[in-house]
């Protein structure tokens, strides 16, 4: 029978909160439940309350959000502490009830204003509460400074406990929901809209990646996920212009269809014949392709310079085309092995002096592997959620020692191909670097802001 009174589920979030509060409480117990002023100085003002509150607030979120919550709380305490102690400079004037009331209102306004100015709305509570407590309890002399210092110390300790407990105990959210909360960004009437279009597009990691970067950089943009049916790019572009979108990314199957719809096309989009980034400026559509450059940057990040090298590319789909044409432009000789040789031939026709088509049978792969300096897998073989896998990995035996093996796939982080290559002593690189670099380049086009890709890679590595 269904329980008539719905009861809350005791999950990991509840357990984390309880453990964090107990640890904070136990840690501050020697200072007394209320303050033991006989201890003197800051110690005499110390107690468990603020650490417990910091723990309760911070353990409701992910590890990254815990840190951000804690920082906001700390900022609130510092702003509130500074404002509260500053008001005491008014001295005996505060004995007048009306003056005190007006001062209380003024410090609350100042606290909220400062926190909003530095984009920390969750700091507002503490920024107001602290001056109120200082003013209402009538702290005097050095005690008011000890009081503020004690609150800061308690908050820092509470945050550290929350971070430790959050890291030590497992994520409280179901697998599928992890990372989703990190997409939250602030929106107001000036916020500019961006999105990714595709068919299907719901699986896209772009909103998570872009919104995370937007939040990290403090940019006033919002990045959405927009399904657009195949063959409807013209209609979408009109709609995006009308709705005031600043731009959008395109994934399968729209990259080629967008090319003739652009008012301006950058050199890489023209070279590759595909657009993955569209900026809308003054009603005009500017098309870019960041896949090829993103790939070259991901190689550079790993210290791989393709100039003058012989690269073996497996696959001849959309990603392979961007990779091959940019590798050739960077001065590499590229052999393109594909199951459907006609598709490899079509790519190579763009630059026959540097690109050579070949088949995908075991003997050909082994033979081509022997003479390559870098191997790049651009097929979908080994990708999570697909059944396809290399039937035979013996071509890895043909590689010279020290040849790096690159896989465009980033999920799983280590494909079977990379695992086997690593076991044979080869340096391996997955598709995460490409994923981040192409996204960084897109956001740079959208916003005109220079972005530190290495820093973004660190931020995003915890999410993807
Ligand atoms: P695509 O256009 O569908 O191309 C798929 C390629 O895989 C084709 O060359 C196809 O050969 C080959 N292939 C598929 N099944 C095969 C099989 N059973 N045996 C041999 N070859 C097979 O896909 P794409 O857009 O180029 O993407 C390719 C991979 O790169 C995907 O795994 C994708 O996730 C990854 N990627 C990663 C990033 C990133 O940011 N890291 C960006 C783009 C793509 P045929 O031509 O003979 O069908």
| Choice among 16, 193, 255, 321 that is catalytic | 255
Burial (CB count <10 Å: 0-12, 13-18, 19+), residue 228: buried
In short, whether 290's Cβ falls inside 6 Å of ligand 1 is: no
Distances from the Cα of 450 to the Cαs of 105, 290, 446, in angstroms? 41, 15, 11
Closest CA to 147 of 287, 250, 46, 249: 46
In short, whether 343's Cβ falls inside 6 Å of ligand 1 is: yes
Residue with tokens 């049978």: 361
Q: How would you write the chain as a 3-class SS string?
A: CCCCCCCCCCCHHHHHHHHHHHHHHHHHHHHCCCCCHHHCCCHHHCCCHHHHHHHHHHCCCCHHHHHHHHHHHHHHHHHHHHHHHHHHHHHHHHHCHHHHHHHHHHHHHHHHHHHHHCCCHHHHHHHHHHHHHHHHHCCCCCHHHHHHHHHHHHHHHHHHHHHHHHHHCCCCCCHHHCCHHHHCCCCCCCCEEEEEEECCCCCCCHHHHHHHHHHHHCCCEEEEEEECCCCCHHHHHHHHHHCCEEEEEECCCCCCCCHHHCCEECHHHHHHCCCCEEEEECCEEEEECCHHHHHHHHHHHCCCCCCCCEEEEECCCHHHHHHHHHHHHCCCEEEEECCCHHHHHHHHCCCCCCEEEECCCHHHHHHHHHCCCEEEECCCCCCCCCCCCCCCCHHHHHCCCCCCEEECCCCCCCCHHHHHHHHCCCCEECCHHHHHHHHHHHHHHHHCCCCCHHHHHHHHHCCC
CB neighbours (10 Å) of residue 212?
24
In short, whether 131's Cβ falls inside 6 Å of ligand 1 is: no
- pLDDT < 50 regions, the chain: 174-181
Residue 170 has what pLDDT? 66
Residue 179 has what pLDDT? 47
Residue with tokens 């080869």: 426
Give the Å distance between the CA of 327 and the centre of ligand 1: 17
In short, whether 408's Cβ falls inside 6 Å of ligand 1 is: yes
**What is the tens place of the pLDDT at every residue in 392-429?**
999 999 999 999 999 999 989 999 999 999 999 999 99
Query: Does 2 participate in catalysis according to the annotation?
Result: no
In short, whether 435's Cβ falls inside 6 Å of ligand 1 is: yes
CB neighbours (10 Å) of residue 335?
22
Residue 309 has what pLDDT? 97
Residue 28 has what pLDDT? 85
d(CA 312, CA 328): 12
Q: Residue 294 CA: which ligand 1 atom is closest?
A: 40
Closest CA to 434 of 418, 417, 411: 411
Residue 181 has what pLDDT? 46
Q: Whose CA is nearest to atom 2 of ligand 1?
A: 317
Query: Which residues share a beta bridge with 428?
Result: 405
Q: Residue 316 CA: which ligand 1 atom is closest?
A: 9
- Considering the entire predicted model, what is its pTM? 0.68
For residue 189, what are its two tokens?
A: 């009437």
């Amino acid at each position: 029978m269904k329980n008539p009174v719905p009861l809350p589920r005791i999950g990991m979030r509840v357990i984390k909160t309880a453990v964090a509060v107990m640890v904070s409480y136990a840690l501050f117990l020697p200072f007394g439940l209320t303050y033991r002023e006989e201890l003197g100085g800051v110690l005499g003002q110390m107690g468990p309350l603020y650490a417990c509150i910091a723990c309760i607030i911070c353990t409701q979120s992910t590890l990254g959000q815990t840190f951000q919550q804690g920082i906001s709380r700390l900022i609130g305490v510092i702003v509130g502490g500074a404002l509260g102690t500053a008001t005491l400079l008014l001295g005996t004037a505060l004995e007048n009830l009306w003056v005190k009331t007006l001062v209380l209102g003024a410090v609350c306004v100042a606290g909220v204003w400062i926190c909003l100015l530095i984009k920390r709305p969750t700091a507002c509570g503490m920024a107001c509460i602290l001056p109120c407590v200082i003013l209402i309890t009538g702290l005097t002399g050095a005690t008011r400074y000890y009081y503020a210092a004690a609150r800061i110390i308690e908050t820092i300790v509470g945050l550290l406990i929350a971070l430790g407990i959050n890291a030590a105990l497992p994520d409280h959210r179901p697998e599928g929901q992890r990372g989703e909360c990190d997409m939250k960004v602030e929106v107001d009437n000036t916020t500019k809209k961006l999105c990714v279009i595709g068919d299907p597009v719901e699986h896209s990691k772009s909103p998570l990646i872009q919104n995370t970067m937007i939040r990290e950089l403090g940019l006033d943009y919002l990045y959405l996920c927009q399904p657009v049916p195949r063959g409807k790019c013209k209609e979408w572009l009109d709609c995006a212009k009308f709705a005031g979108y600043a731009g959008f990314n395109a994934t399968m199957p729209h990259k080629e269809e967008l090319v003739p719809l652009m008012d301006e096309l950058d050199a890489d989009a023209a070279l590759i014949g595909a657009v993955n980034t569209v900026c809308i400026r003054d009603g005009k559509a500017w098309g870019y392709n960041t896949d090829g450059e993103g790939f070259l940057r991901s190689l550079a990040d790993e210290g791989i310079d393709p100039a003058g090298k012989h690269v073996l590319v497996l696959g001849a789909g959309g990603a392979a085309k961007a990779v091959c044409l940019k590798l050739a432009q960077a001065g590499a000789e590229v052999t393109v092995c594909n199951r459907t040789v006609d598709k490899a031939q079509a790519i190579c026709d763009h630059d026959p002096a540097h690109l050579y088509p070949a088949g995908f049978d075991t003997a050909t792969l082994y033979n081509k592997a022997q003479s390559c300096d870098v191997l790049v897998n651009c097929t979908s073989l080994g990708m999570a959620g697909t059944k396809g896998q290399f039937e035979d990995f013996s071509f890895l035996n043909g590689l010279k020692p020290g040849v790096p093996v690159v896989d465009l796939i980033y999920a799983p982080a280590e494909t079977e191909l990379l695992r086997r290559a690593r076991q044979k002593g080869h340096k391996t690189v997955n598709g995460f670097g490409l994923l981040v670099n192409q996204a960084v380049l897109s956001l740079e086009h959208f916003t005109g802001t220079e972005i530190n890709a290495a820093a973004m890679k660190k931020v995003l590595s915890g999410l993807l």
